[in-house]
Structure 1
């Protein structure tokens, strides 16, 4: 007979799961618990062995306990499992679910204790992150093939239902179709090439009542970013925003006032923060209403800080890159992160950027679903003469250097620096 009273509840269910897997080898194919879900490390080690070795039996377990008691436990410990009375294989899933529930409680208690010791944003987000991760654990692991195929089949006849969001620049959309949820997209360029202007143009084009746009600015203030948006919306030269009362005409002031009204009604939220971290991005994503599509811009990724301390900047940026990819996937948002490029292309005859120009780490290229580069030839031509026209448009190449789900190539746009406006060709 089993003396249940000698075990705590979690010990009882952990031993019951392992005993059933030992007595009924066919159940091992239904063993869904990961080793780390067990409170007792020796239980976890035994679960790992049962998963990897279907021939492992009671006799081998007893033998292992004598030879290597530090792995699965002493003889006295393992015989509680090996000789535990489990007359039926019924309830195997229920037993596993009890072990999982105890694991979830331990994880949440640990996060809560950490928060109580130091109550800050990072620890508060750690609780939220653990809850999100634990909610995704599914022991049933049902076959979702039919559901997936049904979804794809239905989409063939639902013309208006799409998760793709257009950038609003036709020449780019013709190449990449648009952006999708769960994507991490990089927009790289040398300083002052126009990547921030491109991101702001895209944010204006994408925003509507169904979408929520969040723009993290680690480099400039919200006032500066808003002025650039208003310049683009109204066509008023950005330079005039420095001293509008002196430099703007009455007509231009009226345009800006109209632009302020329109911008106030838009679904664009600017967050200027010199210490943007993945947890802050995650918190912003978590606050996006469920009925809205979220697109998060970050200007720019090399200015971000990790939520954990790193001595090596390369390792820190690699962690940031991985975290952004996880946030995009888990929170079902699109993340468009701007990236500075190295000076390597300055030394080349053809100065068009390539993937190896991404600064500091190749992890950025690896994690990104899509990499876009901004390039314009007149960036490298310094014309300070009388013939220089600051209002003239520049041909900007948007080079799609990586695209996991579609073609690569170059989209041609026209960039007007004086009012930070892009035109991307006809529809």
Structure 2
């Protein structure tokens, strides 16, 4: 059974229901679960955990890979990227999350939203929310990162927002070369153009990436697109 929305959306519905109707949160969660065809929230949560694709996707990544994770707002691209980072850490690798969008608290709150206690991975997980994030900044910060380190950049379209930074294509090429040399896996969270129409195709693809500046999309080895609980993963041919 496929859920009608990502589990974190269902949790938000339950919290809103709890506030609006003055019922305990656990009752609201169970009510939401029943609308999804489960007798209780615990059953839905167990099913959702089994449906999480990150554990199936992560083994397909190799050191040196450049990965694009794209979706419209609210479809779970940040959570998917964090789930993949968690899989990397569970495999004994380090992970780093560079964000021009969120604060460190936001990132840790989102880890908790997917059922992960941040303290569990404190020694393996680095969050960097500096305004100076760019390709050169990431290269400098990750210069000593061991092979297999999983790096998330949030998000692609913000990398060249500062005029002093090189253009986006140059930065992505820099990171591709660095990932190959260091044996890192680099994931870019990406916006999707508003023209994307889910009634035409169930998931966006490379043609739907929002590109305010030119970028050679062939630089990415693998892509993962999300929409309405649908996940499409592709490796470059």
Flag the 1:397–1:370 CA change in 2: closer, same or farther, 3 A.
Answer: same
1:168-196 deviation line (CA, Å, top 9, x unaligned): 97756657842111111100111221100
Q: Are 1:216 and 2:98 counterparts?
A: yes
Distance 2:88 2:169 in 1: 29
Aligned partner of 1:281 in structure 2 is 138
TM-score by length of 1: 0.40
Point out where structure 2 has 5 or more consecutive residues left out of the alignment: 1-49
Structure whose residues are more often helix by fraction: 1
1:358 and 1:365 in contact (8 A); partners too:
no
Higher relative contact order (CA 8 A, sep 6+): 2
Instruction: Give the TM-score normalised by structure 2.
Output: 0.68
- Map of 2:39 onto structure 1: none
1:215–1:298 Cα contact (<8 Å) kept: yes
1:398 corresponds to? 231
Q: Is residue 268 from structure 1 mapped to residue 125 from structure 2 by the alignment?
A: yes
Q: Secondary structure at the match of 2:132?
A: coil
Query: 1: distance between equivalents of 2:186 and 2:145?
Result: 13
Q: What is residue 294 of structure 1 aligned with on the other side?
A: 149
Q: Which runs of 4+ in 1 moved over 6 A?
A: none
Pairwise CA RMSD: 2.9
Give the superposition deviation at 1:197. Answer: 0.7
Shift of 1:287: 2.3
Contact 2:54 2:84 in 1 (8 A): no
Aligned match of 1:199? 81
Aligned residues: 187
Q: What is the CA distance between 1:288 and its match in structure 2?
A: 1.3
CA distance in 1, matches of 2:149, 2:164: 29
Structure 1 residues 212-252: Cα deviation after superposition (integer angstroms, max 9, x where no partner) = 10110110100111121123235xxxxxxxxxxxxxxxxxx
2:200 & 2:69 partners in 1: Cα distance? 22
Instruction: Give structure 1 stretches of 5+ with no counterpart.
Output: 1-167, 235-258, 377-395, 406-427
Q: CA 1:260–1:355 in 2, change beyond 3 Å: closer, same or farther?
A: closer
Contact 2:108 2:118 in 1 (8 A): no
Q: Report the alpha carbon displacement of residue 262 of structure 1 after superposing the two structures with TM.
A: 2.0
Equivalent residues of 1:306, 1:316 under 8 A apart: no
Whether 1:334 and 2:185 are equivalent positions in the alignment is yes
The 5 Å alignment of 1:20-31 reads none
**2:194 is the alignment partner of 1:323:** no
Deviation at 1:342, TM superposition (A): 0.6
1:269 partner SS: strand
* Deviation (angstroms), 1:324: 1.8
Indicate whether 1:370 and 2:203 are aligned. no
| Pair 404,348 (structure 1): closer, same or farther in 2 beyond 3 Å | same
1:305 counterpart = 2:172: no
After TM superposition, give the deviation of residue 284 of structure 1 in Å: 2.2
Q: Counterpart of 2:205?
A: 354
